[in-house]
Amino acid sequence: MGDTQWRVYEVFHQQSRGEPHVHVGGVHAPDAQVALLMAKEQYGRRQACVNFWVVPADAVTATDYSDVDIFEHGTDKSYREAYGYETSKRMREEDATRRVKAQTTKRPRSQREKQESES
Amino acid sequence: MKRFPDATSIDGEAREATIGLLYRLADDDMTLGHRHTEWTGLAPILEADIAFSSIAQDQIGQARAFYTLLHELGEPDPDALVFARKPEDFRCCALCTLEKGNWAFSTMRQFLYDMAKQLRLQHLAESNYEPLAKLVRKLRGEQKYHVMHGHMWISRLGDATSESHAYMQEALDAQYGYALGMFESNELTAKAAKHGISPAEEQLCDEWKGQVHEALELAGLNIPQNATAKSGGRIGSHEPVFTTLLADMRSVYELDPAATW
């Protein structure tokens, strides 16, 4: 038996506002509005979600796997990689400092939370 | 009008009316939710199957929430209410008990039912029985999706091809009178309106007709004229198919009613 006559839409899921939309799979649907309604149950029912994109699969233009060698580096290009920077470490430290500050300035709230968690 | 913040603060006529309303809400969702599950694994395509099964789960979950409110009012626990109550004690309308029929029949029924349910919940968010008002406010999102889903199917199939149109028109003609039966009124429904527990059934029916007729006409379907409401469900007088539905739903439970799950 052949495939459904409906076209395939690629589905992109966004977990919270500001996060990137991530490709999660596809759905069959006769049009984009139906695709969104179907995507909601296929891909939204088990995880947090604020938004979906659907894109007709045939609107996607892809590279050819036979050209996979174009992604290989002929010479050392490690200078392009960000491993040498310690940005993430510095950000973690700054974040920790901010949290300590927030705790010391918002004592009444943290006390309330503590009471609630104990009750 | 008096408001009732919890189960202990309501008595007399208002309590009786609230219990009656909760049985109608819970039994409708339970029976139709069960009918929807009959499509699991059988719907026309996988995506439709999953969406419809999810709606069934939502609906059974909502039924459970209404049964829990009943239990707080001194009625038996949800399992006993679903699995051990006498058929004539159920208050579901006939529309919810009918066999699932074909896909046109089930999607049309889902649309007609959920349009009514959405209207009902919008009003119940202001109910004087506050535990109910609080609950239905949490159900809005699910209900909104159910309406979008039902509307999607009737608007697409209503005027897609002459074949799909014929199926949808046939489904509408067959169940319009049953749909009117959702709003069956009696002494108990009048008491619920009198105490601000629920809107009057006649008012809901008028509002429902306004919205549903417009959507059906836009879908190219004709509203059945001279249809009479199929009443009886709200006083426990059910169609024969309801007995079969209950027997099916209870077949596992009845193997060992005392089993712990």
Nearest to B54 among A30, A34, A45 (CB): A45
Nearest chain A residue to B157 by CA distance is A30
User: pLDDT at residue B261 above 80?
Assistant: no
**Rounded to a whole number, what is the distance in Å from the CA of A41 to chain B's nearest CA?**
5
User: pLDDT at residue A109 above 70?
Assistant: no
CA distance A60 to A26: 13
pLDDT band at A105 (very low <50, low <70, confident <90, very high): low
What mean pLDDT comes out for the span B161-189?
97
pLDDT of residue A1: 41
User: pLDDT at residue B1 above 50?
Assistant: yes
pLDDT of residue B205: 98
Q: Which of A34, A36, A47, A54 has the most B C-beta neighbours within 10 Å, making it the best mutation to test the interface with B?
A: A34
pLDDT of residue B128: 98
Nearest to A4 among B45, B51, B156 (CB): B45
- Residues in A 13-42 with any Cβ partner in B closer than 8 A: 27-30, 33-34, 37-38, 40-42
pLDDT tens digits along A75-93: 988 888 876 667 777 778 8
| Residue whose token pair is 């829990």 | B68
pLDDT tens digits along B206-245: 999 999 999 999 999 999 999 999 999 999 999 999 999 9
Contacts of A33 in chain B (CB under 8 A): 152
Contacts of A38 in chain B (CB under 8 A): 47-48, 50-51
pLDDT tens digits along A30-65: 999 999 999 999 998 888 999 999 999 999 999 999
Comparing CA positions, the residue from B27, B97, B90, B30 lying closest to residue B59 is B30
pLDDT band at A28 (very low <50, low <70, confident <90, very high): very high
Nearest chain A residue to B53 by CA distance is A41
The total of other beta-carbon atoms located within 10 Å of residue B207's CB is 18
CB contact under 8 A, A42 and B156: no
Comparing CA positions, the residue from B52, B222, B147 lying closest to residue A42 is B52
- Least confident segment among A72-76, A78-82, B179-183: A78-82
Contacts of A45 in chain B (CB under 8 A): 54
Instruction: Confirm whether the ipTM is greater than 0.90.
Output: no
CB contact under 8 A, A42 and B48: no
Contacts of B51 in chain A (CB under 8 A): 37-38, 40-42
- Coil, strand or helix: which one is A14? strand
CA distance A97 to B94: 64
Pick the CATH number of B11-255 from 1.20.1260.10, 1.10.3720.10, 3.40.640.10, 1.10.1740.110: 1.20.1260.10
pLDDT band at A73 (very low <50, low <70, confident <90, very high): confident
Give the CA-trace dihedral at B208, B209, B211, B217, to 10 degrees: 150
User: Could you tell me the CATH superfamily of domain A7-59?
Assistant: Phenylacetic acid degradation B (3.10.20.520)
Q: Which amino acid is at B67?
A: Y
**Rounded to a whole number, what is the distance in Å from the CA of B54 to chain A's nearest CA?**
7
Q: Please indicate if any CB of chain B lies within 8 Å of the CB of A7.
A: no
Share of chain B above pLDDT 70, in %: 100
User: pLDDT at residue A119 above 50?
Assistant: no
Residue pair B146/B58 in contact (Cβ under 8 Å)? The answer is: yes
